[in-house]
Structure 1
């Protein structure tokens, strides 16, 4: 890779205990499952095989993301320390938080279920006072800025915060010809891909990022820009294990998506 190129690698955290239980997780701070730990180690193996070095590393403030980052750091000792940024946190699913996806689908029907889960502009109903107050009183949200905890979010809301993160912390590093790794969540990374690739709503609706599969965006640091950001050389990026990622993404789609 020439000095005019830099890469950003996006990694969705490994499977969490709430993923395994089929819950709307959102801003619930849940740990990785055993399978999730194994997925994180496999992601490290794939990254090691590339020989890539990284000059900056970021992850969300939620445990399942930084636990994934901890596994990557242990397996890849040359990684720089991960910096946490709440703007990479998962989308807030509002009143759906803690509910099973199967129960929401059964109660509200497939169309509404998919609108809440997959659309760009439709937020779930806002969470009530009891859950909001419980989360606000947690150690995690007490140390984060007030805007880190809202009542609900559409994906478009998430796109606003991840665009700000990318413009502030990632794009300048890429322009300097340096590589970046980002560990996030199904929806924060889906929103990030929508920003980086400038995806129309219909493509965002069908986009799903499987857990533990590194997605590589290569940038030409002297190449074109769009809305002030560098444009990927390959639209949509490239998974390090395309076959396994495609199978995992198809399984995700059958379950209703991220």
Structure 2
């Protein structure tokens, strides 16, 4: 691959999860896809197949809703053979003590304004959970080989960005700089972190951008990873994109 040539980056938010359907804060809790989520993941593959992109590598999180979405997407484009890397740094934002709670019931308990601050501010985290809490990753076998001190008990979007971007810059960006094509299957907030960097979005603005589930965002990048074009492949379910 040659330096400074165009590369393609596809960002896919996982298909609808069980807790998306139940309107619950999910975060690092490892819930599965719904039947609708499976259909969305398969449609992502169908949409990408029309683009005829040959990917060099794939990345996803440690969470099965994103992993399964990646697998079904790659199956749809007949590219399940490409190298795939799972990284906890691409996990969803950890919602701390909000994890598992119904969003509407949480608004009734704490007030809509406070819940909006927890959900949509850039730098204010939700209430933290202790290391012995069932939803703390230190108690999940998937993270048993990591120092518990680096595992979050609740994150703001800023804290999520602070773990996603160093991983992206060190492990993913080199493929793009070399002209490679990359697909990432991840989560609403870990993808927001990437969007913030790629589109140079201000701190106060980035929480307002939504990633629709199972709808691939195709970016064409030029020299220095400048965004040359960006579009959701399912136009009927597209969300607003930042200016570029």
Q: TM-score of the superposition, structure 1-length normalised?
A: 0.86
CA RMSD, 1 decimal: 2.0
1:233 aligns with 2:228: yes
Asked if structure 2 preserves the Cα contact closer than 8 Å seen for 1:86 and 1:144, the reply is: no
1:252 maps to none
Partner of 2:235: 242
Contact 2:221 2:228 in 1 (8 A): yes
Q: Which has the higher helix share?
A: 1
Which of 173, 176, 179 matches 1:174?
Answer: 176
C-alpha contact (below 8 Å) 1:69/1:82 kept by paired residues: no
Corresponding residue SS for 2:8: strand
CA distance in 2, matches of 1:7, 1:67: 22
User: Deviation of residue 112 (structure 1)?
Assistant: 1.1
In structure 2, distance between residues paired with 1:153 and 1:134: 12
Instruction: Kindly report which structure 2 residues correspond to 1:78-117, keeping only aligned pairs within 5 A, or say none.
Output: 78-79=79-80, 80-117=82-119
| Residues 99 and 135, structure 2, Cα contact 8 Å, conserved in 1 | no
Indicate the SS of the match to 1:218: strand
1:58 corresponds in structure 2 to 59
| Residues 136 and 153, structure 2, Cα contact 8 Å, conserved in 1 | no
- Unmatched tracts of structure 1, length 5 or more: 250-258
How much does 1:150 deviate? Answer: 1.3
Pair 1:5 & 2:18 matched: no
User: Per the alignment, in what secondary structure is the counterpart of residue 201 of structure 1?
Assistant: coil
Q: Deviations over 1:100-152 (max 9, x none)?
A: 10111111122111111111101001013542576422222214453562111
For residues 9 and 65 of structure 1, what CA distance do their matches in structure 2 show? 14
1:187-202 superposed matches below 5 A: 187-202=189-204
SS at match of 1:233: strand
Q: How many residues align?
A: 237
2: CA distance, partners of 1:6 / 1:145? 35
Give the structure 2 partner of residue 255 of structure 1: none
Q: Go from structure 1 to structure 2 and tell me whether the alpha carbon gap of 1:14 and 1:152 turns closer, same or farther (over 3 Å shift).
A: same
Aligned residue number for residue 37 of structure 2: 36
3-state DSSP of counterpart to 1:152 = coil
Is the Cα–Cα contact under 8 Å of residues 13 and 213 in structure 2 kept in the other structure? yes
Q: 1:140 maps to which residue?
A: 142
Partner of 1:256: none
Q: Distance in 2 between matches of 1:90 and 1:106?
A: 25
TM-score (norm 2): 0.90
| Runs of 4+, deviation exceeding 3 Å | 132-135, 143-148
